[in-house]
Structure 1
Amino acid sequence: MIKKRILVVDDEEDIIKLIKNVLERANYTVLYEYGSETALQRVTAHPPDLIILDLNLPGIGGMELCRIIKNTPATRHIPILMLSMKSAMEDKIAGLKFGADDYMTKPFHSGELLARVEAILRRSKKTEEHEPVVTDGKITVDLDSRIVQIKGKKIELRPKEFDLLVLLMKQKGRVLNRVYIMESILGREYFGNYRVIDAHVKNLRKQMGSESVRIKTIKDIGYLFE
C-alpha cells in the first residue's frame, strides 16, 4: 500500500520532531521544511497528501502560503492543517477563510494531532472521485482487485511493483525522482538506498513486455511514464 505523505512546514525544530514521531509511528511518511519558499517548491514539484502548516513563518507567512497553495490549480486539492500559538477566534476564522481545512492551537496533545490528521484524510478521500480502474492505452489496472492487464492479458506483479506502476501511471508525463518514489511506496526506512527502486523498476519492466518502453530512465534523476 502506498503510504500517505505529509509535509510539515514549521520553523520550530521541536515541533517538527514531535509531529514526525507521532505520525511516523502511525505509518505515515513525514517530510518537512523550515521555510515557506522551499515548502512551496516541494509542494509544486511533488504534491503531498496533507500539509501541516505553521501560521507564523518567516518571509511568506503561513496565511499567504495557504492562499497560494489553495489558489493554484495543481495544488488546491491538498488539505491543510494550520498550526498557531494564537487561539483567538479571529485567527481561526482567518485561517479557514484562506483555505485551511482545520486549525489547531499550540501546544497540542499528540493524540489530538493524530485524530485531526486522520479525520482530514478521511474527508479528503471521500471527496476524491472514486477511480477503481486506471487505464492508459494497452495497460489496465484495477485498483480494488489489484489486477493488471496488458493487451487484455493478466500479468503478475509483486505488491511494491503494483504500487510503483500505479504511481507512474497516475503521474504520466511527469519526471519522478527516486526520493519521491521511495517515500511514496517504500517509506523513509529505505532512504538513500536507491538501488531498491531501480530493482523494482527492472522487475516491473520484465513483466510489462513490449510496454516496458513506456517507463523511461531519466539519468541521475529518476523515471518517467510516457
Structure 2
Amino acid sequence: MPTVLVIEDERDLADLVAFHLEQEGYHCLIAGDGNTGLTEARRHRPDLILLDLMLPGMMGTEVCRLLKGGEQTSSIPVIMLTAKGEEIDRVVGFEMGADDYVVKPFSTRELMLRVRAVLRRGGDRGGKGTQLTLGALRIDTEGHRVEVAGEEVQLTSTEFKLLMNLAERPGRVQSREVLLQNVWGYNYLGDTRTVDTHMTRLRTKLGVAGEMIKTVRGFGYKLEEA
C-alpha cells in the first residue's frame, strides 16, 4: 500500500485530503508544519508528499528544497498545494523540484488523479525498491544501482543524484542553477561549469544511454528517451 505524507497546516483540509486518499487505498500521514513534515519524510520515506507552500515556521519551497537535497528523500515525488497560482509561482515550484503543482481551491477528484499520475510516472513504487526505466537505462533508486542494456554502471553519489534529477522528470529541462541546488545543495552563483563537468562524465559512463541526456543551449539539460 503506497504511503502519502500530507504537509498542510489547515487541519480540516488535511483531514479531508487524507480521507479521500484512504478511500483510494493509500496509507496517509499528516504533518501540520514544515519541520514536522521533514522529520516524518525522513522517518517514513513515503511514496509521495503533498506539500502546502504557506506553512508556519518554514515555507513549503524551503521544505521542498531540503527534501530534494537530502540523500534519503531526494527521490520522493512532491505535489505542491497552494493558493498561489501565477505562472512565476509554478516556475519557482518546479525549479525547487516539485513534480506537480495543484492550485487551491481544487477538487479532490482532480487531486486524486494527479496523485495516481505522479506515482505512475515514478515507476513501480509498490514498495521501497523503486525502479525507473528509460530505454536501455534502468535505475534502482533504493539500491543506488544503474544498468545500461543489462550491464551495471558504476557512478559516484553525485553522478547518481544528477542522473536521478533528470530521470525523475523526463523531458523536463533542468537549469544548471537548479541542478546545483538539488544535487550539491547550495546556490553557486559563480561558475556553473561544475554541472557541465559532471554531466560530461555521466554521459561517458552511460555510453549509449548517455545520448538521452540533451543539452538545452544557454539553459541546462534534460533526459529524453529517443
Higher relative contact order at CA 8 Å, sep ≥6: structure 1 or structure 2? Answer: 1
The aligned counterpart of 1:128 is: 131
Kindly indicate whether residue 111 of structure 2 is the aligned counterpart of residue 108 of structure 1. no
Cα deviation digits, residues 41-62 of structure 1 (max 9, x gap): 1111220000000011011110
Per the TM alignment, residue 24 of structure 1 is displaced from its structure 2 partner at its CA by 0.6
TM-score, structure 1 as length reference = 0.55
Cα deviation digits, residues 59-100 of structure 1 (max 9, x gap): 111000000000112110000000101111110110000000
Q: Could you tell me which amino acid in structure 2 is paired with residue 50 of structure 1? A: L
Equivalent residue in structure 2 for 1:58, among 50, 56, 59: 56
Equivalent residue in structure 2 for 1:95, among 67, 89, 93: 93
Equivalent residue in structure 1 for 2:14, among 1, 13, 16: 16
Structure 2 Cα separation of the partners of residues 70 and 6 of structure 1: 16
Per the TM alignment, residue 129 of structure 1 is displaced from its structure 2 partner at its CA by 3.9
Structure 2 Cα separation of the partners of residues 129 and 93 of structure 1: 25
Per the TM alignment, residue 128 of structure 1 is displaced from its structure 2 partner at its CA by 2.4
Structure 2 Cα separation of the partners of residues 111 and 42 of structure 1: 26
Equivalent residues in 2 for 1:105-184 (5 A)? Answer: 105-125=103-123, 128-129=131-132
The aligned counterpart of 1:4 is: 2
Structure 2 Cα separation of the partners of residues 61 and 45 of structure 1: 20
The aligned counterpart of 2:75 is: 77
Task: Summarize the Cα distance change of 1:129–1:105 in structure 2 as closer, same or farther, 3 Å threshold.
Answer: closer
Give the aligned CA root-mean-square deviation in angstroms: 1.5
Structure 1 Cα separation of the partners of residues 77 and 99 of structure 2: 6
TM-score, structure 2 as length reference = 0.55
Structure 2 Cα separation of the partners of residues 87 and 122 of structure 1: 25
Deviating runs (4+, > 6 A) in structure 1?
none
Structure 1 Cα separation of the partners of residues 14 and 123 of structure 2: 25
Structure 2 Cα separation of the partners of residues 100 and 128 of structure 1: 20
Structure 2 Cα separation of the partners of residues 21 and 74 of structure 1: 27
What secondary structure is seen at the aligned counterpart in 1 of 2:122?
Answer: helix
Q: Would the aligned equivalents of 2:122 and 2:132 in 1 still touch at CA under 8 Å?
A: no
Q: How many residues align?
A: 129
Structure 2 Cα separation of the partners of residues 42 and 14 of structure 1: 20
Listed as ranges, the gaps of 5+ residues in structure 2 are: 125-129, 139-226
The aligned counterpart of 1:190 is: none
- Percent identity among equivalent residues? 41
The aligned counterpart of 1:147 is: none
Looking at CA atoms only, which structure, 1 or 2, has the larger radius of gyration? 1
